[in-house]
């Protein structure tokens, strides 16, 4: 029997894709969008900074890390081109985020699993902006306790690894091991694009055909099996969403460029190296 994985088209970069990633001579930074990355508690901000660096390198015009005021020193000591936008009280979070006027938001990388963090996920979803929903935000959405508002935004992307996807759709794992079917199931449930991570990354969306972004032709992409590489991928996606890319295109392009960055760096790659390889890959 032919497997669905074998029938699913494999993403290929075209000249149009490459051209779409360039910046035009006439435009200024605000034309390339503002990406906001929500950071977790003090001392746990590395994942958000990795995502922010990815968003900036992929061409978002402005990038902000949104954090509690007690985490400012941690972020400010390590960020220059990326802005730090602190809020003082948890009650201010949603207004503060709205005030930044982002075109796209990344939430989840080391956000934290407290009930306060869950409230932040709900408040962020309520804004209805294009989002990249990763890591702890997926775990909060999987929690069967107090329900969060649905994602249900075709311009958002959820980016689970297998552990996170199991939490989100545990019942589906009892009926199939087909990664494409699982990603489609999640996309239908979430109402947004789902990028299911792995050497063959599946990008699915509700009511449309899925795509596989494959690393099989690369020699060194398995070096992506390192802490924080998924956080950078979330940043790539958020940066492209801020630039105005369609969510499905943003997910496919980000996954492809992520593999190409690993290939370009080669053995010894760690997460901080990934965004720094983008200029070479884009050239």
The binding site for ligand NPW (CB under 6 A) comprises 46-47, 109-110, 135-136, 139, 161-164, 227-228, 230-231
Q: Is 225 in the site for ligand ADP (CB under 6 A)?
A: yes
* Closest residue to ligand ADP, based on beta-carbon distance: 230
What is the nearest approach in angstroms of ligand NPW to the Cβ of residue 2? 25
Does residue 110 touch ligand ADP according to CB under 6 A? Answer: no
- Burial string for 181-201 (b: 16+ CB within 10 Å, else e) reads bbbbbbbebbbbbbbbbbebb
**199 labelled as ligand-binding?**
yes
112 touches ligand ADP by CB under 6 A: no
Sign for the CA dihedral angle at 130, 127, 121, 73 comes to positive
Q: Minimal distance in Å, beta carbon 168 to ligand NPW?
A: 11
| Rounded least distance, CB 112 to ligand NPW, Å | 7
The pattern of x and - marking residues 194 through 213 that bind ligand ADP according to CB under 6 A reads ---xxx-x------------
Q: Are 37 and 48 in contact (CB under 8 A)?
A: yes
Q: Determine, following the binding rule CB under 6 A, whether residue 239 of this chain makes contact with ligand ADP.
A: no
Lay out the site mask for ligand ADP across 162-201 (x = CB under 6 A, - = otherwise): -----------------------------------xxx-x
Least spacing, CB of residue 115 vs ligand NPW, in Å: 16
Contact pick of 20, 76, 78, 161 for ligand ADP (by CB under 6 A): 161
Nearest alpha carbon to residue 38 among 87, 80, 79 = 87
CA–CA dist 236, 239 (Å, integer): 5
- For residue 157, what are the contacts with CB-CB under 8 A and spacing of at least 6? 131, 132, 133, 192, 193, 194, 195, 237, 241, 247, 250, 251
Q: 169 — phi, psi (to 5°)?
A: -130, 65
Under DSSP, the state recorded for 283 is: -
Q: With CA atoms as reference, report the closest residue to 223 among 273, 257, 159, 279.
A: 273
State how far the Cα of 88 lies from the Cα of 68, in Å rounded to an integer.
6
Q: Footprint of ligand ADP on this chain (CB under 6 A)? A: 135, 161, 197-199, 201, 215, 221-222, 224-225, 227-231, 233, 258
Q: Which residues are annotated as a binding site?
A: 47, 161, 197-201, 230-231
């Amino acid at each position: 029997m032919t497997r669905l994985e074998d029938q699913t088209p494999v993403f290929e970069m075209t000249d149009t894709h490459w051209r779409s990633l360039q910046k035009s001579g006439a435009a200024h930074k605000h034309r390339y969008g503002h990406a906001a990355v929500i950071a977790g508690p003090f001392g746990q901000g590395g994942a958000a900074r990795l995502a922010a660096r990815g968003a900036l390198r992929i061409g978002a015009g402005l990038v902000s890390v949104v954090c509690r005021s007690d985490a400012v020193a941690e972020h400010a000591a390590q960020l220059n081109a990326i802005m730090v936008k602190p809020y003082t009280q948890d009650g201010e979070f949603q207004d503060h985020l709205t005030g930044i006027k982002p075109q796209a938001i990344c939430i989840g990388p080391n956000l934290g699993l407290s009930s306060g963090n869950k409230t932040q996920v709900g408040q962020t979803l309520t804004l209805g902006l294009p989002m990249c929903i990763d890591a702890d935000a997926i775990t909060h959405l999987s929690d069967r306790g107090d329900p969060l508002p649905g994602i249900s935004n075709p311009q958002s992307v959820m980016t689970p690894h297998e552990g996170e996807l199991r939490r989100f759709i545990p019942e589906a794992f009892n009926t199939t091991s087909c990664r494409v079917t699982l990603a489609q199931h999640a996309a239908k449930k979430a109402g947004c694009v789902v990028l299911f991570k792995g050497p063959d990354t599946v990008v699915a969306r509700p009511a449309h055909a899925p795509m596989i972004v494959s690393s099989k032709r690369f020699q060194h992409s398995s070096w992506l099996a390192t802490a924080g590489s998924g956080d950078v991928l979330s940043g790539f996606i958020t940066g492209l969403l801020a630039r105005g890319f369609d969510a499905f295109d943003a997910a496919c392009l980000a996954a492809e460029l992520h593999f190409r960055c690993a290939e370009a760096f080669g053995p010894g790659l760690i997460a901080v190296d990934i965004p720094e390889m983008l200029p070479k890959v884009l050239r």
